[in-house]
Amino acid sequence: MERLRIYTYRKTKMIGYLFILALLFLCFRVGYLMIFRASHYAPRAVEVEQRERDIKAARGRIIDRNGTILASNKTVCTISVIHSQIEDEDAVIDCLSKELESDRGEIAKKVTKVSSIEKIKSNVSKEVGDRIRSYELAGVKVDDDYKRYYPYDSLQSKVLGFTGGDNQGIIGLESRYDSYLQGQDGKILTFTDAKGIEIKELGEVRMEPEAGDDLYVSLDYNICEYATQLAYQTMLNHQASAVEMIVMNPQNGEIYAMVNVPEFSLSDPFTLPQEYESLSEEEKSEKRNEMWRNTCISDTYEPGSTFKIITTAAALEADVVSLDEQFHCNGSITVEDTRIRCHKTTGHGSEDFTHAIMNSCNPVFIQLGLRLGAERFFDYFEQFQMLGKTGVDLPGEAGTIMHKLENVGPVELATISFGQSFQLTPIQMATTVSSLINGGTRITPHIAVETRNRMGEKVHTFSYEDQGRTVSEETSETLRYLLYQVVAEGTGKNGQVEGYSVGGKTATSQMLPRGSGKYIASFIGFAPAEDPQVLAIVIIHEPQGIYYGGTIAAPVVSQLFENILPYLGIEQQK
Ligand SMILES: [Zn+2]
């Protein structure tokens, strides 16, 4: 990053020097013309003025792992007029109002205005621009310009982001990697006399624009497309308010897809749905920010039972439980006079620890939390690095909202143990579980891989170092086995995929305030269970009707895996 900046800075400086040199040369020439050819120019000019026009740089493209272009540029034109050069005002007004299909009066106002250069319209299509050029009208300038273009419109909208009128990235990757993508605008410098008439003898100085570098990302167009369809289908099936999905490589943190439905149109990012038409400008602006919000990284939720993966990891590391230890669940447990129920109110009866996680039995996890104690439990949260941010390379990431250690009494400890009373982001959940089941290495989730220039030469490679150990290899292996059992025969059965071994955990959590009757159903799964190559989390907000994660979220991951495992070249195992 630092090196690249210096490089760009030097380059900019060099171009600057060349520019000054060219200017000096022109000054001499102007001097020469004025002194030695004064008789020729005297009647026309005493002063020379410069006039500048920008030549827009092409913004770097965003390209997926297989070479599919996710963000590109379309050539458009900017039409301007230079008042002093116009010879036939009526012809100019006729031509522009006709070709631009604009109001004649409006055009006339701009054309007749005495200014050095007046912009008539930008973002004009290339065809229209070329047609206006063909009139060859004096004083009409048609400059090529670029408009950002997203071939798949709303696909990965909240991840890619979009650009504003000034070619500046506003959200997502467009904003995060703006300095790499932007490039350097060029300039056309022309000289005019006091009346604004171009002095053709002086010619023009062109400082050529420099295209931005292409950003190569870990996203996979096919996985994005399929996951998005699946998310929309899920939203429709359960009349949910939103569905989030993250698909990533748990070994190195590469994100294949990050879906937030409803997505929005990148070619028209400022237009709100019809129903918000009557809102005030301020409210509209708020709605736009809501529409653009990447909730996978910016919003926190109460994880519920998927968090039992983390409690289990801590308990195994601390050696406070073994897989065959016997427990008994009678439907609830009392912690300091507070009775906390199991989701199965009639109780799970006798069960060993393996079956307790397969059953997602709350009282057993509460006991693990109490055995660990708040201090040690929190030490593991630190070790797993799940209390801060993941460092994902997108703007706007939120951190985990956890109790302060000194405020954690036995009841708080009990609720944390089964995933209640605190919140984290979907990306934090996916990253932490990845880092526990991948052999025990904390990874940095990310999207950017490298930048290349227009010739396809590598300019910069982004590196994401491992963030240290979360759990031992042995604990990681035990976790994979337990989570495989959850899907093979436990509450995660609907996450199974024919021919593949899948590990995972379900969750059903209440939305706050509790008792509002609103739920969040989720499932986090990975495959193959013994050697995880892909991990997916799906979170369904406010499903109507059945709201259990095992019933409605697990099948979504199953369907996703059924399609993407063969696609990723992962062979069937059984
Ligand atoms: Zn139970």
Dihedral sign computed on CA atoms, order 302, 306, 308, 313: negative
389 pLDDT higher than 50: yes
Average pLDDT over every residue of 45-63: 80
62-63 vs 214-217, strand pairing mode: parallel
Q: What percent of the chain has pLDDT over 90?
A: 72
18 pLDDT higher than 90: no
Place of tokens 């899948």: 502
pLDDT of residue 326: 97
Q: How far is the CA of 247 from the centre of ligand 1 (A)?
A: 31
pLDDT of residue 558: 97
Q: How confident is the model at residue 8 (pLDDT cuts 50, 70, 90)?
A: very low
Query: What would the pLDDT profile of 296-354 be if each residue is shown by its tens digit?
Result: 999 999 999 999 999 999 999 999 999 999 999 999 999 999 999 999 999 999 999 99
Range 143-158 burial, b when 16+ CB lie within 10 A, else e:
bebbbbbbebebbbbb
Backbone φ/ψ region at 206: left (φ over 0), alpha (ψ -120 to 50), beta: beta
Q: How far is the CA of 317 from the centre of ligand 1 (A)?
A: 23
Average pLDDT over every residue of 366-380: 97
Contact 520, 493 (CB under 8 A): no
Return the bridge partners of 500, or none: 497
Q: How confident is the model at residue 513 (pLDDT cuts 50, 70, 90)?
A: confident
pLDDT of residue 167: 81
Q: What angle do CA 128, 133, 135 make, to 5 degrees?
A: 105
Joined tokens for residue 160: 């890619």
Number of Cβ within 10 Å of residue 242's Cβ equals 16
Contact 525, 503 (CB under 8 A): yes
Average pLDDT over every residue of 121-143: 90
**Calpha distance 344→333 (Å, rounded):** 12
Look up residue 552 and give its DSSP letter.
I
pLDDT of residue 189: 84
Give the domain ranges of the chain: 2-217, 221-267+279-567
Q: How confident is the model at residue 2 (pLDDT cuts 50, 70, 90)?
A: very low
Joined tokens for residue 480: 């994979």
For the chain, the 3-state helix, strand and coil shares in percent, each to the nearest 5, are: 40, 25, 35
Q: How far is the CA of 131 from the centre of ligand 1 (A)?
A: 75
Query: Which DSSP string do the residues of 263-322 spell out, in sequence order?
Result: ---TTSTTPPPGGGTTS-HHHHHHHHHHHH--HHHH--B--GGGGHHHHHHHHHHTT---
Residues near 435 by beta carbon (within 8 Å), at least 6 away in sequence: 250, 384, 385, 441, 442, 443, 467, 470
pLDDT of residue 147: 86
Average pLDDT over every residue of 133-147: 88
Please report, for residues 129, 461, 529, the alpha-carbon distance to residue 214 in angstroms, rounded to integers and kept in the order given.
27, 12, 36
**Calpha distance 503→526 (Å, rounded):** 5
Q: How far is the CA of 514 from the centre of ligand 1 (A)?
A: 21
Q: How far is the CA of 350 from the centre of ligand 1 (A)?
A: 9
| Phi, psi (rounded to 5 degrees) for 489 | -140, 0
Contact 207, 19 (CB under 8 A): yes
Q: How far is the CA of 355 from the centre of ligand 1 (A)?
A: 10
Q: How far is the CA of 366 from the centre of ligand 1 (A)?
A: 11
pLDDT of residue 145: 81
45 pLDDT higher than 80: no
**Calpha distance 146→69 (Å, rounded):** 16
Contact 512, 518 (CB under 8 A): no
Query: What would the pLDDT profile of 218-271 be if each residue is shown by its tens digit?
Result: 999 999 999 999 999 999 999 999 999 999 999 999 999 999 999 999 999 999
Contact 307, 418 (CB under 8 A): yes
Superfamily of domain 221-267+279-567: DD-peptidase/beta-lactamase superfamily (3.40.710.10)
> Which CATH number applies to 2-217?
3.90.1310.10
7 pLDDT higher than 60: no
**What stretch of H or E contains 174?**
helix 172-176
Q: How many CA atoms lie less than 13 Å away from 37 in the CB half-sphere?
A: 11
Q: How far is the CA of 357 from the centre of ligand 1 (A)?
A: 10
Q: How confident is the model at residue 3 (pLDDT cuts 50, 70, 90)?
A: very low
Q: How far is the CA of 359 from the centre of ligand 1 (A)?
A: 7
**Whole-model pTM?**
0.86
As a whole number, the mean pLDDT across the chain is 90
Query: What would the pLDDT profile of 206-223 be if each residue is shown by its tens digit?
Result: 888 899 999 999 999 999
pLDDT of residue 79: 92
11 pLDDT higher than 90: no
Which three-class secondary structure string do you get for 98-119? HHCCCCHHHHHHHHHCCCCCEE
pLDDT of residue 34: 55
Q: How confident is the model at residue 57 (pLDDT cuts 50, 70, 90)?
A: confident
Average pLDDT over every residue of 452-462: 95
Q: How far is the CA of 333 from the centre of ligand 1 (A)?
A: 9
Q: Which residues belong to the active site?
A: 305
**Calpha distance 464→226 (Å, rounded):** 27
Residue 306, judged by CB atoms within 10 A of its CB (0-12, 13-18, 19+), counts as: buried
pLDDT of residue 19: 63
Q: How confident is the model at residue 36 (pLDDT cuts 50, 70, 90)?
A: low
Q: What percent of the chain has pLDDT over 70?
A: 91
Among 239, 177, 301, 223, smallest CA distance to 569 is for 223
Q: How far is the CA of 491 from the centre of ligand 1 (A)?
A: 12
Three-state secondary structure call for residue 535: strand
Query: Which DSSP string do the residues of 426-471 spell out, in sequence order?
Result: HHHHHHHHHHHHSSSB----B-EEEEE-TTS-EEEE-------BSS
